[in-house]
């Protein structure tokens, strides 16, 4: 699955000031990211505030995204939840037109055992018409998908092609890299540690920061994948403070502030999320303007 090497972006969902989906801004964002050189796009992952969109809104966003993309880059749809039966039904009914894979976060809140997580993903894999990318993000779900469970799923289901890993646990990452099938993709789900993850053998990243800095971030990742870590380090270091700001008061509020500063879309988020404080917004705007002027080394 070479199409998922490099930089994928977990796209933000632009909203109008009244909270409705801003489709004109979504078109602008898709074009901005593709023009910025990212390898693929993820529609309605966590960064897309998918949990606050209705089923009808999600269908419209997915269809619109596929239409605007028009086959230019691979597309991944975020379909997950903590009710396995409901997730399976959503996967079965998903209109796959224009899409290449499904990204599914492990169940949140329920705190299932490892066997429960395995059975959840088993049900999804058996129902999915598209390849499946697992997503482990313990800080949001309240439970961890262990290295053993990841490798077990990778070995048992050929259509489970990768894991977006955001545990930040390098002992776990080492185990996955050692034991996984050769063609199973380990993808960074944590922007600040994408460089060292690729050094371990990772396939790239599904990024939040890439929404605002697609050119800079994807160039840095391509240098990593070429093994030119000395050049990549420069880009990585230049984005450390910006990346910290993106998550300082919650995501995607931070990256939407940067996107507004860049003129791509507004910074409206849906409750229970709120916009970043004015103090942080001022810092983000200044850092965004500075980084937007920097020429990246060619990846």
Q: Which residues are catalytic?
A: 135, 164
Whether the upstream peptide bond of residue 252 has omega within 30° of 0, thus cis, is yes
Q: Residue with structure tokens 């299932």?
A: 112
What is the Cα–Cα distance from 228 to 222, expressed in whole angstroms? 9
Rounded-to-integer distance, Cα 110 and Cα 87, Å: 14
Backbone angles phi, psi at 142, to 5 degrees: 85, 0
Q: Are 255 and 211 in contact (CB under 8 A)?
A: yes
DSSP letter, residue 108: P
Count of helix runs (H) and strand runs (E) in the chain:
13, 8
266 Cβ contact list (under 8 Å, min separation 6): 14, 15, 16, 17, 22, 25, 256, 260
What are the strands, taking DSSP E only, across 171-297? 185-188, 204-207
Greatest extent of the chain over all pairs of C-alpha atoms, in Å: 49
Cβ-based neighbours of 114, under 8 Å, separated by 6 or more: 145, 146, 148, 149
68 and 30 Cβ atoms separated by less than 8 Å: yes
């Amino acid at each position: 699955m070479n199409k998922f090497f490099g930089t994928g972006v977990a796209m933000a969902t632009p909203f109008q000031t009244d909270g409705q989906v801003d489709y004109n801004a979504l078109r602008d964002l898709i074009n901005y990211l593709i023009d910025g050189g990212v390898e693929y796009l993820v529609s309605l992952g966590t960064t897309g505030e998918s949990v606050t969109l209705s089923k009808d809104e999600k269908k419209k966003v997915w269809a619109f995204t596929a239409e605007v993309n028009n086959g230019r880059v691979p597309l991944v749809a975020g379909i997950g939840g903590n009710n396995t039966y409901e997730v399976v039904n959503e996967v079965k009914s998903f209109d796959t037109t224009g899409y290449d894979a499904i990204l599914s976060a492990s169940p949140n809140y329920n705190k299932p055992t490892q066997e429960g997580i395995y059975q959840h993903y088993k049900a999804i894999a058996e129902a999915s018409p598209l390849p499946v990318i697992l997503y482990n993000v313990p800080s949001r779900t309240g439970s961890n998908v262990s290295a053993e469970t990841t490798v077990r799923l990778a070995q048992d289901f050929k259509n489970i092609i990768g894991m977006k890993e955001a545990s930040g646990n390098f002992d776990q990452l080492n185990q996955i890299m050692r034991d996984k099938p050769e063609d199973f993709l380990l993808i960074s789900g944590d922007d600040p540690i994408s460089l060292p993850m690729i050094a371990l053998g990772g396939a790239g990243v599904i990024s939040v920061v890439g929404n605002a800095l697609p050119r800079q971030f994807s160039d840095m990742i391509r240098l990593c994948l070429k093994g030119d870590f000395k050049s990549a380090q420069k880009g990585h270091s230049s984005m450390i403070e910006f990346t910290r700001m993106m998550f300082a008061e919650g995501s995607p509020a931070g990256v939407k502030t940067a996107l507004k500063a860049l003129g791509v879309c507004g910074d409206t988020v849906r409750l229970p999320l709120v916009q970043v404080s004015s103090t942080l917004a001022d810092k983000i705007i200044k850092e965004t303007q500075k980084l937007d002027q920097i020429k990246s080394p060619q990846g």
